[in-house]
Amino acid sequence: MTRSAPPDGGPRRAGPDDLRGMTLFDGVADDQLQELSAAGEEVHFGPEDVLWVENQPAESWWVLLDGSIDLLRHVGHEETVLGTMDVPGRWAGGFRAWDEHGAYLATGRAVAPGRVLRIPAAELRRIWTARFPLGLLLTEGVSRSARNYETMARQREALAALGTLAAGLAHELNNPAAAATRAVDALAEACDGMFASLRRLAGVPVSAEQFTGLDALRQELGSRPGGESPMVLADREDELADWLADHDVAREWVLAPALAAAGADPEWCDRAAGVVGEDPLAAGLEWVASTLSVTVLLAEVKESTQRISDLVAAVRSYSQLDRASMQRTDVAEGLESTLVTLAHRIPPGVRVERDYGQDVPRIQALPGELNQLWTRLVDNALDAMGDAGTLRVRTGWERGAVVVEVGDSGPGMSEETRAHAFDPFFTTKGVGQGTGLGLDISRRVVQHHGGEIGIDTGPGGTVLRVRLPGGRVGGA
């Protein structure tokens, strides 16, 4: 806080005459005005002096005697003028006289020189208790109700965020589930085709030796490396289609893609024709193609169901539903489960860089609380970047503590936002946005674990750094 000194260089007290005549003190007796003025001090200020700061504890009651003071509040990265105190008797602050958590709602910055009467909140409470106890009780009740309503609103935001998280998780689960369903449907059709081609192959007929040779060639395709470019694969399909047509093999447009994807080429087809002969060739190649399709579809089902299993495991790790509340915890595991759970929030243009230290030990902690902490930090980083950028997650072991860093490549925080980032109920998000888990709650989670949290910010982005000691949580 900055303020100018009085003209004579020493502090002085405002007298009853300074207060008499103000609408604020209509009906107040002279002895009460004397008590109020005696409890405070007169503060002189000049232009641009800051008398009190938004979100700081409101430990003083400020009554304007003369001059002008703007009331400023930060919304996101912008500073907004909420109003101006320019009439003697207008007041601000003092909330801690009736609310132990009271904080200034705006910053008071002088526009024109003047004076204010500054009364400590403790003195104001003492006067109220002696002079007007009912008024103090009523004010305390109103303040408590307002705080309760604010808490309820935060809880509703948290529930709404939980619904968003659940919807995102459902979307993440739906993709592999739908892929598995499609693969199973196609698998039934591929199996029917495989059995039909096997019946045709048996009816040619084909000897056991020929079938064994053809099966060996089929297994050879399964062991060939894939990963060719689409152009190379398309050229091979065309070559196979021409070869099949030249050898009177029907449905070459169906068989060629399956054989080409598995690595077959005209030379392989020549070897197959040499093993089974011309008559069983069509049925034999249909059987090989159908088995290859079945193998590919089985791999798709396995991949899809494994993805579902991984998501369920990540959610179980994130929520810690099947674990004791207090346990040895791997912070990298919690960070990874958080990233998986929030995958729906990560835009395609955001790259995630992970740097998990190999020498980081497990710590005694409450993993459920830590995962809520990681959620908030990751969510803030994503909001700072928008649709493109780099999300950096790092763990390390430094001087007897586990260090976790969550950084973004966004524009960085303003100094004002950084100064108030951990204040209760402070947010730069609009109504209904965010997780409902402010950095104040994040700070409390870290402090509950005996740790520290800090912010490094600049034009190249912001890093939230958490230090967690290896000991047990205090009070747990």
Q: Model confidence over 70-111: pLDDT tens digits?
A: 998 875 446 778 889 999 989 898 888 888 878 888 899 999
Q: How far is CA 301 from the centre of its chain?
A: 31
**End-to-end alpha carbon distance in the chain:** 39
Distance (Å, whole) CA 222 – CA 178: 26
Whether 320 maps to a domain, the answer reads no
Same-domain pairing of 437 and 384 = yes
> Does 162 fall in a domain?
no
Q: What is the CATH number of the domain that holds 387?
A: 3.30.565.10
Is 174 within the bounds of a domain? yes
Encode pLDDT of 29-50 as tens digits. Answer: 888 888 888 888 999 999 999 9
Q: The domain spanning residue 89 has which CATH number?
A: 2.60.120.10
As a whole number of angstroms, the distance between CA 288 and CA 214 comes to 8
What is the C-alpha separation between 146 and 148, in angstroms, rounded? 5
User: What is the pTM for the complete model shown?
Assistant: 0.42
Residue ending a domain, choose from 105, 131, 157: 131
What is the domain count for the chain?
3
Q: In which band, very low, low, confident or very high, does the pLDDT at 403 lie, cut at 50, 70 and 90?
A: very high
Most confident region among 101-105, 276-280, 396-400, 432-436 by mean pLDDT: 396-400
301 plus 333 within the same structural domain: no
- The answer to whether residue 419 sits within a structural domain is yes
d(CA 458, CA 438): 21
Which residue intervals of 9-78 are DSSP H helices? 16-19, 30-39
Report the length, in residues, of the chain.
Answer: 476
Same domain, yes or no: 218 and 333: no
- Residue corresponding to tokens 């104040």: 440
Distance CA 184, CA 307 (A): 16
Segments of 204-360 assigned E as strands? 327-329, 349-356
What is the model's pLDDT at position 431? 40
Same domain, yes or no: 200 and 284:
yes
| Residues 304 and 176 placed together within one structural domain of the fold | yes
Quote the radius of gyration of the chain (alpha carbons, Å): 36
Q: Say if residue 79 is in the same domain as residue 179.
A: no
Bigger pLDDT: 397 vs 263: 397
Residues 394, 335 within the same domain:
yes
Residue 120 sits in the same domain as residue 177: no
Higher pLDDT, 41 or 132: 41
Distance from C-alpha of 8 to C-alpha of 14, rounded to nearest angstrom:
14
Structure tokens at 137: 């009780």
Domain that includes residue 397, residue range: 329-469
% residues pLDDT > 90 (the chain): 16
Residue pLDDT, tens place only, 269-306: 989 888 888 888 888 888 888 888 888 888 888 888 88
Report how far residue 10's alpha carbon sits from residue 215's, in angstroms, rounded to the nearest whole number. 103
Task: Please say which residue of 279, 310, 341 terminates a domain.
Answer: 310
Residue 339 located in a structural domain: yes
Choosing from 281, 310, 339, the residue where a domain stops is 310
